[in-house]
Amino acid sequence: GQQVMQIPQYQHVQEGEDFTTYCNSSTTLSNIQWYKQRPGGHPVFLIQLVKSGEVKKQKRLTFQFGEAKKNSSLHITATQTTDVGTYFCAGEGGGSYIPTFGRGTSLIVHP
């Protein structure tokens, strides 16, 4: 079945540094979604990318969808302590409309 790999598993940064998490799928995706889960919380939808090569920005967050629609990345510029949490990508594809989640990247920001 479809697999979505996400790296790194953990990332420690100093406040103000940039952060990037990468997502790779074993199959071509129809779309990819990104979620953020704060410690003790539930996943919260951030964004959905649909088109090949798409780039979307939300303030300090930049999301990219690869040309082959098999990979994606989330980049945070100048991290803040409020960015702490686990970021998940979730891809739909391979004939399935069920989002398959990556294992997530836990971001720890040191003040």
Residues forming the site for another protein (CB under 8 A): 30-31, 33, 35, 41-45, 48, 50, 88, 90, 92, 96-104
Side-chain-side CA neighbours of 64 within 13 Å: the count stands at 12
78 versus 98: smaller Cβ distance to another protein: 98
48 contact partners, CB below 8 Å, separation of at least 6: 31, 32, 33, 34
57 versus 103: smaller Cβ distance to another protein: 103
CA dist., res. 100 & res. 90, Å (int): 5
Shortest distance, position 88 Cβ to another protein, whole Å: 7
Q: What do you get for the CA distance between the two ends of the chain, in Å?
A: 41
CA dist., res. 67 & res. 79, Å (int): 27
Shortest distance, position 94 Cβ to another protein, whole Å: 13
- Please report, as a single letter, which amino acid is at residue 2: Q
30 versus 77: smaller Cβ distance to another protein: 30
47 versus 84: smaller Cβ distance to another protein: 47
Shortest distance, position 33 Cβ to another protein, whole Å: 6
